[in-house]
Structure 1
């Protein structure tokens, strides 16, 4: 097994664990609804989403040589989540770059499509995207609370979280479907270019 295959497998396993956490959270909340479990539920939701985003980025970075058109320098820097500066002695300093989730998720879906030579956009047209942006703020609020009210998760926020998971899962499945179809089309084009007896 190659290093790329090992890395892909590890990312897949991580996502599966985090999806399990989310589903376990639904079960626990149905038996014992508490603010602690509600906060844990929100955190596990975003951990699962961000693990999928990381997995998509990893897949893109492992397929860079296949991208057509090739990725720009800017796209590569964002995919690597790095920033660079120069210190006073003229040496390059590399540091991790924090990317805002609402922007990062749209970028990743678009570049995932580009990696496979197709168009792919996250659906941001309806209430699901609005719920997503609101729940990102809820996650940020409970991660960096300033008041007691900041750590209270409402019934509405929990209900939106459950809907959000379904929406995001559909978006992820769609990304796999679109890119798989693009690969199938490429294979058919390549087959037509081969001599008749070679297929």
Structure 2
């Protein structure tokens, strides 16, 4: 738990680096387990990597969600620097704020609940708009489809109802690795376009 009195000078870059390092550690653990596993006569690998796979999937989504939020915040700062006016509604979704009227009739702010897929699309779109970059997220790309599949796996792992919900097939682990790699490539492409 974080002490609210501590002044935290760490940057969003450090956040993203930490999340990526966590993912890489999980990835290395999966690979290590596969490398020391027994191989059957027909070449199949017999390894118990489900714990590591669950950790890898959780770490990948922590990274993706963190990067998505950081991308939106960067869009807000970049829009101010470049004189691009974002709407109040866009700013609310950038900072994941929603509003409601409480029992006293007062407007109060609460965290917005934005589904991950919509949030990723919005983050890439708003970043491109704020930086004057012609960019359209390719939702037909293999990595995007694998991300959608991996979201279902993540949801199953985070809200298990029966023991089999914790099972992670090797194909699901590979899908997550490819989805995270595709997300990174898309993110790097967008950041490179801004720098150009």
Pair in the same fold by TM > 0.5: yes
**Deviation of 1:41 (Å):** 0.6
In structure 2, the partner of 1:97 is 112
The equivalent residue for 1:71 is 86
**Counterpart secondary structure, 2:113:** coil
Are the aligned partners of 1:128 and 1:164 in contact in 2 as well (CA < 8 Å)?
Answer: yes
1:30 paired with 2:31, answer yes
- Residue number in structure 2 paired with 1:17: 18
Identify unmatched segments of 5+ residues in structure 1: 1-6, 182-199
Alignment of 1:30-179 (within 5 A): 30-32=31-33, 33-66=48-81, 69-179=84-194
Over the aligned positions, Cα root-mean-square deviation in angstroms equals 2.0
| Residue-by-residue CA offset, 1:104-146 (whole Å, 9 max, x unaligned) | 1011001001111222222212222111111011111100111
The one-character-per-residue Cα deviations of 1:12-55 (angstroms, maximum 9, x if unpaired) are 11111111111111211122342211110100111111121121
CA drift at 1:161: 1.3
Give yes or no for contact 2:147–2:180 (8 Å, CA) kept in 1.
no
**Superposed structure 1 runs of 4+ greater than 4 Å apart:** none
CA distance in 2, matches of 1:102, 1:153: 22
Secondary structure of 1:63's aligned partner:
helix
**Larger helix proportion, structure 1 or 2?**
1
* Structure-2 residue corresponding to 1:193: none
TM-score by length of 2: 0.82
Distance 1:118 1:64 in 2: 12
The secondary structure found in structure 1 opposite 2:146 is helix
Which segments of 5 or more consecutive residues in structure 2 lack a partner in the other structure? 1-7, 34-47
